[in-house]
Amino acid sequence: MEIRKILLLALSLTLCAVVAQAGFDASRVISVVSREEGSGTRGAFVELTGVLAKNSEGVEVDSTYAEAVIANGTNLVLTTVAGNDAAIGYASLSSVLHSDTVKALRVEGVEASTGNILNGTYKIARPFNVVTNGNLTDPLALDFMRFVMSREGQAIVSDDGLVSDANGQTPAYVAAGLAGSLTIGGSTSVAPVMELLGEAYMELNPDAVIEVQSTGSSAGVTGALDGTYDIGMASRALKDSEVEKGALGIVIGTDGIVLVVNLNNPLEDISVEQARQIFTGEITTWADLNK
């Protein structure tokens, strides 16, 4: 009986959801979707858009709108925005590039693309760091880093939608055929590209095992420092407290952050200032944005 009721409810809900899909209502309140405090993506976004600003006492305050929905991962941001006409969120370029469930906005007329981040015209971008505890000594870890920064490694980085600093002088990688295993952990944003790098490295060095864990930027730095990970990953610049403890960061590529809206939203372009106003709650309806 209970089950049948739930099934009926589910069915009627689906119908309603389908009916509700027609037309875009600009008078709707904007559903702001943000990330949790401490997330590398959020840190980069609030810093790059000016949501994070000094208050009258000179303290940096993250004034993300208190009514903003908080999602704890890129996938939840995309799912939430895809399911809500009035939503806006942000995610890294690499995770949105292949997604057709949401619409990526141009920022000040510039499309979010690898080329535009490299030539500096796209405004919202951040570094992807690899973190080590002091200088690397483990031969396998050293060889892996040589691969990551080589022409082959940087080709993988740029194929994944990241912007690589590599130029014509970047050396080619020669496989050393080392054996052993490496544990790499940290930022959920860096993990996908690190997995690709690890797979390519294992193909060239069949006796090596590279394991990639995605736990978050801070966990990546902590793990690299306490030895849990041979190499950590962070999708933000290192904090002073982390550098003091001996953490060293190497930028393997730069990631753009993309503002995403629902496919039904007619908006195509947004300015950094408009993004700041939306994410601080100064603008609350889509109609106000277009004034």
Partner 1 sequence: MAAACVCILAVGVICYFLFANGLPFFAQYAVSDFISGKEWAPLRGVFGILPMIVGSFVITLGALLLGAPAGVLTAIMMARFSSGKAVRLMKPAVALLAGIPSVVYGFFGLMLLVPFTRSILGGDGLSILVAAILLAIMILPTIIQTSRAAIEAVPNAYYEGSLALGASHESSVFRAILPAARSGIVSGIVLGIGRAIGETTAVLMVAGNQARLPTSLLKGVRALTVNVLLEMGYAADLHRASLIATGVILFVIVMAVNIIFSFYNRRRVLQ
Contact positions vs partner 1 (CB under 8 A): 1-3, 6, 10, 13-14, 16-17, 19-20, 29, 31, 36-40, 59-62, 66-72, 76, 79-80, 83-84, 188, 215-219, 221-222, 239, 241-242
Q: Residue 40: name the closest of 277, 229, 242 by CA.
A: 242
The residue among 76 and 196 lying less far from partner 1, judged by its C-beta, is 76
CB of 8 to partner 1, least distance (A): 12
C-alpha 64/C-alpha 32 separation (Å) is: 9
CB of 40 to partner 1, least distance (A): 7
The residue among 17 and 263 lying less far from partner 1, judged by its C-beta, is 17
The residue among 20 and 172 lying less far from partner 1, judged by its C-beta, is 20
Partners of 70 in beta bridges: 34
Instruction: Give the Å distances, CA to CA, from 85 to 25, 28, 80, 267.
Output: 8, 9, 10, 11
Q: How far is CA 262 from the centre of its chain?
A: 18
The residue among 39 and 277 lying less far from partner 1, judged by its C-beta, is 39
Burial status of residue 202 (CB atoms within 10 A of its CB: 0-12, 13-18, 19 or more): middle
C-alpha 30/C-alpha 285 separation (Å) is: 5
CB of 76 to partner 1, least distance (A): 7
The residue among 19 and 172 lying less far from partner 1, judged by its C-beta, is 19
Residue type, 32: V
Neighbouring C-beta atoms of residue 63, cutoff 10 Å: 16
CB of 236 to partner 1, least distance (A): 9
The residue among 153 and 186 lying less far from partner 1, judged by its C-beta, is 186
C-alpha 169/C-alpha 192 separation (Å) is: 26
The residue among 149 and 191 lying less far from partner 1, judged by its C-beta, is 191
Give the chain's count of helices (H) and strands (E): 12, 13
CB of 176 to partner 1, least distance (A): 33
CB of 204 to partner 1, least distance (A): 31
C-alpha 118/C-alpha 254 separation (Å) is: 8
Partners of 129 in beta bridges: 234, 251
Cα angle 178, 253, 239 (rounded to 5 degrees) comes to 95
**Please, are residues 165 and 120 in contact by the beta-carbon 8 Å criterion?**
no
CB of 268 to partner 1, least distance (A): 23
The residue among 95 and 205 lying less far from partner 1, judged by its C-beta, is 95
CB of 20 to partner 1, least distance (A): 4
